[in-house]
Structure 1
Amino acid sequence: MGDCELLKRLAVPSFEPLPGLHSCYGQTIAASYWPQKINLKPDSWLNLRLSDGDRLFICENWPDQSMRDHLVVMVHGLTGDYRSGYLSRLARKLVALGYPVFRVNMRCAGPAAHLASGIAHAGRSEDLRQIIARLQSIYPAMAISLIGFSLTANTALKMAGEEGEQCPLHSLVAISPPVDLLACSQWVRQHGPLFDPYFTRRLVALAKQLMKQDTTFDWHSIDGIYAFDEKFTAPSCQFESAEDYYHKASALPLMPQIRVPTLLLGSRDDPVVDNRVLSGLNNPQLDLLLTELGGHMGFMALPTQGRELRWMDQLLLRWFVEQDHC
């Protein structure tokens, strides 16, 4: 379906950037630092022990009334956690619409970060599979949908592709997913000079927590995301190399096998993700929307004529409610 058809179907105005935020860098940075009410405290916690012994702490938020029989799992992006602004903001909006929301802390994130023996990476679809299975066992009468952001959006798409017809999800949303990890590692190096070192510093800080007893590792040789994956992610997660990791963890080859309704939102000017790889992708279950502008998970819009400032939220929520009525 074309972009215009999807927006018309959802009654969402096309994206128009907020004045002064036409650059991909401005959009990406403003979305993270724009003032917002995001202090959504957990109502309760779910402690999940994974099959390899690592633990994930999952933050639960429940509607006060008029609860739907449909829960939403949200997973943060690279180096984030359940407190990430986009998760808290969207959780508040979803809860207000009656959805129970579960914000997942992936490995090395959130309250259980110190309990992790391995780092999160883009290919850990088995972790998501175990999360969904646990929630199904606790709430067997409830439908489950999944929203992934950035790196974990790739993980979510990978899981849905692997499961095919057996996928347990009601629906799936992927925001700015790097579905071809090799292409994206090259893209961010060339087009995201602010973000490659930023994410690298945060990744190195997480890795140091895991390797606090090892003083021999040469951290100074890591000068970008590719180098981090080559020297740390690959050997610590049983991949032969960064390129082996990228090949095995990328969702793109599996996306034609997705059989659940899926919304994928990205922008062509994303400084982190190379969305050119999505050209030619054909799957009737996929609502693919690529805006010309918007940055990486930015989409800060001019709030006029029915368009909301947080255009990403507006689109996601309209799509979600539509799927709930299908």
Structure 2
Amino acid sequence: MGGSDYTPPLWLRSPHVQTILASSPWRRRRGARALAATGAVTTEHLVDGGDGVRLHGLHSVVRGTEPRGLALLLHGWEGSTESSYMRQTAAHMLRAGYEVFRLNFRDHGDSHHLNQAIFHSNRIDEVVHAAVDIAARFASRPMIAAGYSLGGNFALRLALRAPAAGLQLAGVAAVCPVIDPARTMLHMERGHRMYLRHFERTWRASLRRKRDLFPDHHVFDDATLQLGMRELTDWLVQTHTDFGTLDNYFDGYSVAGERLSSLQVPVDILMSADDPVIPLDAFHALALPAHARLEISRWGGHCGFLLDRHLDGFAERWVTERLGAHADAAREATARTRLATAVHAGTSQPPL
């Protein structure tokens, strides 16, 4: 574990200012301009999540160049491929020479119609399956991945499952990831209520949209949608999962304690000490292998890390640098292996 060299100006040292401005319309527009300025061609894709599941995503590449690799980007809960941090990170990765695939989780972005069942945070299998499909479609190697908030949690679980899935993942970066979901719920309930209200409002809208699209399958009433976050999550667990209890559900996607100790994929984690959504104590209790690094910044809010009045971000640059280092290391390892194989083949030839 180490510190971060992120130091914002004084007026950006409030975690609430950081968090609110990070997801503001101004920053989303700035992200759109940054992405457009790369000159990349972006195309929509439906990818295979297994068992008939379809997930939507956006692939971007600068034509006429040979990509240095493929970066898979995962958004946070109730975010999308068009979230400001997704656009900004994609722009940074494209400028660094990578092609980028931004994946929407089920029921995020404009994808509610693709699958009948409702999204929940334990749907990691379909994200792993989708990542394997994406890797097969776009042959650029190495493949690297990054996620923010809940997307950071998914990225860490993707790293854990990559070897068994046959996914050649060179490295992962996670920004303010959910580590312990049960503690995160408590942290939001005890903290500033505007964050809990924001997630309640956006989740309710998502569920209404799902009900409108599949009225014969989703018959919950408006009273259900008015439940608070904890009660609504418990309803989800009881009616749309096999976990049985809220504690079992939270435990299902927790990466707390020793759970990341078996990581085989190199991982970098960036967290802010003043995050108003994700509690810091779970990070201090993490057991990480030697090839995983945790950086904790004094400031940053929740997925903010803004640098100036232009709302430029430290986190997007950090992700690009860390993933680039992992990709470089993977390329060098591949080159060494090929050289060793060639030398061995050459020395094993009989003399002429």
| Superposed pair shares fold, TM > 0.5 | yes
Deviation of the 1:217 alpha carbon: 5.4
Mean CA deviation greater in 179-188 or 215-224: 215-224
- For residues 66 and 192 of structure 1, the distance between their equivalents in structure 2, rounded to whole angstroms, comes to 47
User: Deviation string for 1:169-194 (max 9, x for gaps)?
Assistant: 11101111111000000001112311
Question: 1:295 is matched by which residue type in structure 2?
Answer: G
Indicate the percent of aligned positions where both proteins have the same amino acid.
Answer: 22
Cross-structure match for 2:255: 251
Unaligned runs of 5+ in 1: 8-13
Uncovered stretches (5+) of structure 2, i.e. residues with no partner: 330-352
Structure 1 residues 304-315: aligned runs within 5 Å: 309-315=312-318
Letter in 2 for 1:275: L
Cα separation, 2, equivalents of 1:175 and 1:120: 22
1:319 is paired with a residue whose SS is helix
TM-score by length of 2: 0.82
SS at match of 1:170: strand
Give the aligned partner of residue 265 of structure 2: 260
Do the aligned residues in 2 keep the contact of 1:271 with 1:295 (CA within 8 Å)? yes
Deviations 1:13-66 (A, max 9, x none): x22223322221111011122445222476212212332323211101002343
Q: Note closer, same or farther for the CA distance 1:73–1:173 as it changes in structure 2 (3 Å cut).
A: same
Give, in whole Å, the separation in 2 of the partners of 1:289 and 1:82: 25
Provide the aligned length of Structure 1 versus Structure 2: 312
The verdict on how the C-alpha distance between 1:105 and 1:89 changes in structure 2, with shifts beyond 3 A counting, is same
Matches within 5 A, 1:147-158: 147-158=146-157
Residue 290 (1) aligns with residue 296 (2): yes
Q: CA shift at 1:108, angstroms?
A: 0.8
Residue 235 (structure 1) aligned to one of 216, 235, 239: 239
Does 2:315 match 1:322? no
The CA distance in 2 between the partners of 1:215 and 1:232, in whole Å, is: 11
Partner of 2:60: 61
Number of the residue aligned with 2:333: none
| Contact 1:161/1:256 (<8 A) preserved | no
2-structure distance, mates of 1:52, 1:295: 38
Is 2:19 the partner of 1:16? no
TM-score when normalising by structure 1: 0.88
Equivalences for residues 101-120 of structure 1 within 5 A: 101-120=100-119
- State whether structure 2 residue 6 is matched by structure 1 residue 37: no
Report if the CA contact (8 A) 2:128-2:162 is conserved.
no
Moved more, 41-50 or 283-292: 41-50
Displacement of 1:256: 0.9
In the TM superposition, residue 102 of structure 1 has moved relative to its aligned partner by 0.4
| In 2, Cα distance between equivalents of 1:114 and 1:309 | 34
1:167 CA displacement: 5.5
CA separation in 2, counterparts of 1:117 and 1:168? 31
What is the alpha-carbon distance in structure 2 between the residues aligned to residue 114 and residue 310 of structure 1?
33
Q: Would the aligned equivalents of 1:125 and 1:156 in 2 still touch at CA under 8 Å? A: no
Q: Which stretch shows the higher mean deviation, 243-252 or 99-108?
A: 243-252
Name the aligned partner's letter for residue 270 of structure 1.
D
1:168 to 1:122, Cα distance in 2 relative to 1, 3 A: farther
RMSD: 2.3
Q: Match of 1:59, as an amino acid?
A: L
Once the 2 structures are TM-superposed, how far is the Cα of residue 220 of structure 1 from its aligned partner? 5.3
CA contact (8 A) 2:147 2:155 kept: yes
Match of 1:10 in 2: none
Structure 1 residue aligned with 2:337: none
Query: Which entry has the higher C-alpha Rg, 1 or 2?
Result: 2
Cα distance in 1 for residues equivalent to 2:290 and 2:128? 23
Query: What residue number does 2:45 align with?
Result: 46
Aligned mates of 2:98, 2:266 — CA distance in 1: 18
Equivalent pair of 1:149/1:177 in contact (CA under 8 Å): yes
